[in-house]
Amino acid sequence: MDDDEPKPTPFPRSKDPADEPRAEPRRRRRPFRATGKTLIALVSVFALAATGYAWATYHEVQGNVHTTDALDLPDDKPAPPADDGADDILLVGADARTDMQGNALPLQVLKTLRTEQTSGVNTDTVIIVRLPKNGAKPYAVSIPRDTWIDVPRGGQGKINSVYGVAKQAKADELRRSGRRDAAGVERDSDQAGRQALVQAVQDFTQVRVDHYAEVNLLGFYLITEALGGVQVCLNHATEDKDSGADFRAGVQTVSGGEALSFVRQRKNLPRGDLDRIVRQQAFLSSALHKVLSAGVLANPGTLGDLTDALHRSLVLDPDFDLLQFADKAKGLASGDVTFTTIPVVKIDGRSPDGEQSIVEVDPVAVRQFFAGLAGRSAGSGGGGASPGAAAVQAVPAGVTCVN
């Protein structure tokens, strides 16, 4: 956790942090066609369709999902080619302290989430999922949150700050224009933040983002609680007061606040942010395995809780057709997805002004890496990524021990 992030607050474990009113989600404005969300939430949805379980529940989720115009970008900058042999989904985990209606989360909910109220939004999870159109194996590529990139508004910054900076600028603009409804300002400024993040990712990777999906802290909490926890495994006992992490070595089940601590811990890990990414990848792999088990999909109570969590946390672009996506995403639905991370130059670099700890990257190597994956997707004979790219490490669908 960075110095500018709030310190988590210890909390008594609770199964239901959501004391806030449950307002009806904003309805989609256009017919759906295809997109995704932070992997555990997205797979929770399309697994319902892909496996034939809970058909009515699947349609209920699709009919009430929140939407965003994050892909409606200005035309003043050339976009990467639209057809590169794969559908590319940007999955975002945001640490927003508001609900879907733009209202601030109550103090008790924040305590349950092991965090505090703060302005702005950081995107602590940024993943590009490539779904090859030829049916080849999908890839989920993580971009470290501290990756130093060129940002859309000019200059450079961490990739996890792009959303928040653009959101704040839009909120200030709206207030100067006379807007006084706080929740409305939150929602509209969120749109600007999402668009800026999509633009930044496209500029950085030269991959066209076909679909956008996002889940917030509360949603992650609710989804893991609905699943009854997710099994994880650690090579060594570890703790970190900033994230609230306090875990023993070996296999254990985490949910709610503990699950958040598990995927957010960075201090006291050998490789810092890169080990946190491996944590996230291992957690998602284990979660996919559990979501796709008959015990989860055939349990009406679990499905009800999962549906409620998705209604309250999932944000998709409006061209997302969950049924069509499920058909395309058989690799994800079977747990057959390769998790990897972009190539990095240095994990403990400093920003040019020396004020921030950053992950240094070579943008050319990153673009070559994604181009290599596109080559595999298009059936180019399985050639490896270009020189300088990171090796692709497969993560099993079951439990994997990590740092």
**Whole-angstrom Cα distance, residue 73 to residue 209?**
11
Please give the torsion angle defined by the CA atoms of residues 340, 342, 348 and 351, in that order, rounded to the nearest 10 degrees: -150
Could you state, in order of their start, the residue ranges of all structural domains in the chain?
39-227+293-402
pLDDT at 91 over 50: yes
pLDDT at 51 over 60: no
pLDDT at 159 over 80: yes
Reported as type and span, the H/E element at residue 45 is helix 39-50
Which CATH class for the 39-227+293-402 domain? alpha beta
pTM confidence score: 0.78
Q: How confident is the model at residue 237 (pLDDT cuts 50, 70, 90)?
A: very high
Contact predicate 326/83, CB 8 Å: no
Least confident of 30-44, 146-160, 352-366: 30-44
What does the block give as tokens for 274?
Answer: 């890169």
Give me the mean pLDDT over the 281-309 stretch.
74
Q: How confident is the model at residue 60 (pLDDT cuts 50, 70, 90)?
A: low
Cβ neighbours around 383 below 10 Å, total: 9
Beta bridge partners of 86: 132
Please give the torsion angle defined by the CA atoms of residues 287, 244, 166 and 141, in that order, rounded to the nearest 10 degrees: -30
